[in-house]
Structure 1
């Protein structure tokens, strides 16, 4: 290695040849996931022009050469292209191995992740890929001599000539194959989002601008008239409501036994009288989108994160109405939906039977449960934010004694496990969440003499487990499979809760089995079930309203 590095030290390239080399590297190596996807698309067509196939890497090369020339300047080239090479190698890894597309939503999710979640994606394979594809080329960039020996005028003329040549090549390709590019692009619009580094750079720039430079939206309070109904206030004096909202993570509806899955993933709750809603869609395919959207009054088709963060959500309205709230966090962040209410975060740095110094099992959320409840006043809502089934380190979400489905996949580079192992590991996480829910219900049953108790569970989004070459989540919603957009939703009501809220359980059972819902319903359903009266409440969007006498 030292001999190779010393050898590079004697090599010399110009600022004109540098973009050419980088364009060649990005066209053939970094963008291999795009070329692979194009190969799969073209192989399904009845007939394809050979010239069109040959033109694709040439088109990429010309386009990249033009773009990279814009950044190939003395003192700027090395730091800019070093960052580009390393980040692009990471994007290439995720795209090729997991089918992840780095659009605005994915960039948003990356920026808002925490250290524990980020490190879960590290593996020997991912590090090796990044070293070979990103770090070594960057090392080459720093060791070779980049010079411009013939003066500034010659430098500018050669740069303009190179860029002009690129445009000519692109124009020639467009002249002969425009219809082919148009047809493939129109029928596979997601392809443009796969091109590295253009789309992820565009998405990152857009996110940074919207987050740090856009003019802030003035905060708007909504539901200023919010109050609890007289019946709810009277109940709070004698036997308060205790409602536990369990916010799941990365659970998909298709792997729930209560939804027809042929494996016993709900063996802890199947006999507890839960109502499992069979058709529920998420607002997004990533936590950063789904959670703020779910808590907001904004519907999915009109959702804007900046606007959602700049107005009250249903927690804020409940607090205004006098309901006592507490958020307990085990997933690295509440995405700002709990910024105005009391919040506890599980200390994942500790090491005990529930935590390993980096992550904690979700049973940690139930520690001090009774004390948390007793410290609240009146009618109460306690939110438990699970880490649930967050991947790719699924195996870290459940303890050894809950390792029911085997063989599982005890590693983060799940692409190197078999499909059976991945599904077993994921199903173990679903089963462990089921266990946590059953234990939460057990605690609620113990408190039934003091409170009218209820539990509501919903996941933020689903997950792909290798179907059609996709893993994890975050696929643009318009392209995402139902595995990422269909989520489990379950409710459990104690007898006293059903009675106090006048709930027709037969009606609720029918609604769960036959009706379709989405996370748009959550805002109004939570206000409704907690009997909060306000002008922003819409009974037509309340899951429970039609089943209350």
Structure 2
């Protein structure tokens, strides 16, 4: 007689309830993920001389209880694990960004990250960042994904966990309210550093504003735009607008920097503006803002994206336009005008298969300019400039003027001196590109009255006060991130045809306080476009035109 053996699936000895999982994760977030928060807290308390146990101890306890309540609200069968896996991986990325770059992940950073192309995003990946994300994000998320869980919802257990946390929280506030409120009220920036609450709040607001709000009708402005009449024998205008990336004014020799970072444009008799403020601290804000009629204080992304910008008005007036892109995106500024995007996948003297040096923008200019219809022409070149953290990829070997430089994307492992040298090399190379663009304009001065306008989108932090890169909220951003270079070059024919007093313009450049708000009307004015959208008070050329 055959004996039938029946095997039963054994339940694992150890099983977690969803309320237990929530508490474990709350501890992990309190002690590990929020290390950037504690570093900032230490800085704040040290500066006010209030480093004592009575002040410090309630803060992690407060975090633990709040996070335990929040995590319990999201821990349910079938969805809880997926939520926590997503949360752990994104939190590790945010924690790394805040801890090693000093960048707070707010609405603007979410916007900038989601609108960054894959090539730019890849520049932030290195052994250090991948290791951090793996250890603090991927491994914990795998432990969560494969953790044996008790069956059922266990509402009573969850209710007890939340209720007990609320009671302990109230007791903590009763005994420590004075200390907690003093820290929170006097140092509001700390609340923006708590992970995951603030970056999730910022992401929600960005997604809501971008995808879940009612579209607004597109608004046409400058519909009356026309070009001023010229005499029949006057040469047409050829205007180069070079849009920079991540260049800060403080590192320009033209503006007083000790190192010679402008050896090329210095010989071109350019005009450098000393005090120019950006509209934002990230490309996603500064670029659409500077080309819009809205100024920094009135800037609204949805309104800006749904109305004409200065490119649209120039095109409507009859100016022939072309946008050449090497920085991963025009942020919809060139959506309705001719555009050429540099192919970064090619491999040649300027491109390595994933990124291209900015000299690639100057290739084929003669044929491209000739193909532009109309007499007066404006060509925009959006350069990669000084985009970090891979500064060393922005210039060729022969432009290594300042050594030692940081030949790595892991700038946190380089000395500040080498990081600054690498960054300064990018400024030198951009200076070379601008100078070569001026030489091209000089070669075409027989056919056109030529000029060049260069301005960067925002600046960069290079370790000052522990900050690197950019994207700090404008209200608290250092001047390194908000002060940008602005350079003009004017041919003799251009100055004569536009009736520009160069000496006057040089004085304005030294004494004036300008911003990217001036770009919109300056372009309309210098291209002689008549429209009610033009504001002479925001035209940098206007005071010096007779």
- Please give the range of the TM-score, normalised by the shorter of the 2 chains: over 0.9
> Gaps spanning 5+ residues in structure 1: where?
1-8
What is residue 352 of structure 1 aligned with on the other side? 348
What is residue 4 of structure 1 aligned with on the other side? none
1:99-498 matches, within 5 Å, as 99-148=102-151, 152=153, 155-231=154-230, 234=231, 238-376=234-372, 377-498=374-495
Residue 74 of structure 2 contacts residue 83 of structure 2 at CA under 8 Å; is this kept in 1? yes
- Tell me, what secondary structure is at the counterpart of 1:334? coil
What is residue 66 of structure 2 aligned with on the other side? 63
CA distance in 1, matches of 2:239, 2:204: 41
Residue 82 of structure 2 contacts residue 145 of structure 2 at CA under 8 Å; is this kept in 1? no
What is residue 8 of structure 2 aligned with on the other side? none
Range with greater deviation from structure 2 (161-170 or 521-530):
161-170
Residue 251 of structure 1 contacts residue 459 of structure 1 at CA under 8 Å; is this kept in 2? yes
Range with greater deviation from structure 2 (175-184 or 271-280):
175-184
What is residue 30 of structure 1 aligned with on the other side? 33
1:525-540 matches, within 5 Å, as 525-540=522-537
Residue 462 of structure 1 contacts residue 485 of structure 1 at CA under 8 Å; is this kept in 2? yes
Report the Cα offset of residue 84 of structure 1: 0.5
TM-score by length of 1: 0.96
1:242-261 Cα offsets, whole Å, 9 max, x none, are 00000000000000000000
- Tell me, what secondary structure is at the counterpart of 2:267? coil
1:195-251 Cα offsets, whole Å, 9 max, x none, are 1111111111111111111100100000000001113xx46x641100000000000
CA distance in 1, matches of 2:202, 2:419: 30
From 491, 496, 501, give the equivalent of 2:498: 501
CA distance in 2, matches of 1:180, 1:373: 66
1:138-175 Cα offsets, whole Å, 9 max, x none, are 11112220114xx55xx112111111222222222222
Residue 456 of structure 2 contacts residue 485 of structure 2 at CA under 8 Å; is this kept in 1? yes
- Tell me, what secondary structure is at the counterpart of 1:276? strand
- Tell me, what secondary structure is at the counterpart of 1:16? helix
2:77 counterpart of 1:77: no
Report the Cα offset of residue 183 of structure 1: 2.5
- Alpha-carbon RMSD across the aligned residues, in angstroms, is 1.2
- Tell me, what secondary structure is at the counterpart of 1:478? helix
TM-score by length of 2: 0.96
Residue 66 of structure 1 contacts residue 163 of structure 1 at CA under 8 Å; is this kept in 2? yes
1:281-334 Cα offsets, whole Å, 9 max, x none, are 000000000000000001111110100010001000000000000000000000
What is residue 6 of structure 1 aligned with on the other side? none
Report the Cα offset of residue 185 of structure 1: 2.3
CA distance in 1, matches of 2:143, 2:439: 61
CA distance in 1, matches of 2:54, 2:169: 14
Range with greater deviation from structure 2 (359-368 or 160-169):
160-169
Residue 245 of structure 2 contacts residue 385 of structure 2 at CA under 8 Å; is this kept in 1? yes
1:72-111 Cα offsets, whole Å, 9 max, x none, are 1011111110010011001100100000111100000011
- Tell me, what secondary structure is at the counterpart of 2:16? strand
CA distance in 1, matches of 2:471, 2:138: 26
Residues 160 and 300 (structure 1 numbering): CA distance in 2 closer, same or farther, change over 3 Å? same
What is residue 45 of structure 1 aligned with on the other side? 48
Residue 242 of structure 1 contacts residue 454 of structure 1 at CA under 8 Å; is this kept in 2? yes
Residue 58 of structure 2 contacts residue 180 of structure 2 at CA under 8 Å; is this kept in 1? no
1:47-91 Cα offsets, whole Å, 9 max, x none, are 355222111111110000000001110111111100100110011
Range with greater deviation from structure 2 (14-23 or 136-145):
136-145
Residue 10 of structure 1 contacts residue 145 of structure 1 at CA under 8 Å; is this kept in 2? no
Residue 11 of structure 1 contacts residue 144 of structure 1 at CA under 8 Å; is this kept in 2? no
CA distance in 2, matches of 1:417, 1:452: 46
Report the Cα offset of residue 10 of structure 1: 6.2
Residues 264 and 48 (structure 1 numbering): CA distance in 2 closer, same or farther, change over 3 Å? closer
- Tell me, what secondary structure is at the counterpart of 1:407? coil
Report the Cα offset of residue 442 of structure 1: 0.4
- Tell me, what secondary structure is at the counterpart of 1:297? coil
1:482-527 Cα offsets, whole Å, 9 max, x none, are 0000000010000000000000111100000000001111111110
Q: Count the aligned residue pairs.
A: 534
1:8-59 Cα offsets, whole Å, 9 max, x none, are x864211110000000000110001001110111122233552221111111
Report the Cα offset of residue 178 of structure 1: 2.4
What is residue 5 of structure 2 aligned with on the other side? none
Residue 328 of structure 1 contacts residue 346 of structure 1 at CA under 8 Å; is this kept in 2? yes
